[in-house]
Amino acid sequence: MIKVQEQDFDIGAELASLTDGNTSVGGLGCFVGLVRDMANEEQISSMTLEHYPGMTEKQLAALEAEARDRWTLLDVLIIHRYGRLEPGDRIVLVGTTSAHREAALESCHFLIDWLKTKAPFWKLEESDTGESWVAARDSDDDAADRWSDTATQSEQKKV
């Protein structure tokens, strides 16, 4: 399930909704991304997330489909916020459930790595020195690229 929203989310309630009533779940993998207070050694007062309505939902749904194709998953939840956020605010939640931990943890890691470079969001940081757009990082590309080598995954579905 994909949710693109301005409002905050309740981590406990969202994760519970992934597992409640489904006793075949053996493991839940989860990642929560938050706004840091420092960027490039500068104190950040806010971060505004802009996105491309319509395409964002399509891209996230495509990522979910890719994860479900690569691992045996029972459910996937991606929540991504947009709008003005402050340090400590939650930005994103990725939750994945499976019968076993490898699929849950690996697919969660895969989703957050791919989401960094394939979901149409842009971050504007505000600090004492003004506003600046967050630049894409090579390390994020590298993190996304390593999932291209599917042979390294432990629970790869056989094609």
What residues make contact with other proteins under the rule CB under 8 A?
A: 33, 50-52, 54-55, 58, 80, 91-92, 112, 115-124, 133-136, 140
Q: Which is nearer to other proteins, 26 or 33 (CB)?
A: 33
Q: Which is nearer to other proteins, 54 or 156 (CB)?
A: 54
Q: Which is nearer to other proteins, 42 or 50 (CB)?
A: 50
Shortest spacing between CB 100 and other proteins, in angstroms = 25
Q: At 22, give phi and psi (nearest 5°).
A: -120, 95
Shortest spacing between CB 78 and other proteins, in angstroms = 10
Shortest spacing between CB 68 and other proteins, in angstroms = 19
Shortest spacing between CB 51 and other proteins, in angstroms = 8
Q: Which is nearer to other proteins, 44 or 91 (CB)?
A: 91
* Residues whose CB falls within 8 Å of the CB of residue 158, separated by 6 or more in sequence, listed in order: none
Shortest spacing between CB 147 and other proteins, in angstroms = 14
Length of the chain: 159
**In a 10 Å sphere around its CB, with 0-12 CB exposed, 13-18 middle and 19+ buried, how is residue 100 labelled?**
middle
Handedness of CA 70, 109, 145, 63 (dihedral sign): positive
Angle at 76 between CA 75 and CA 82, to 5 degrees: 155
Q: Which is nearer to other proteins, 99 or 143 (CB)?
A: 143
Q: How far is residue 80's CA from residue 60's CA, in Å, rounded to a whole number?
A: 9
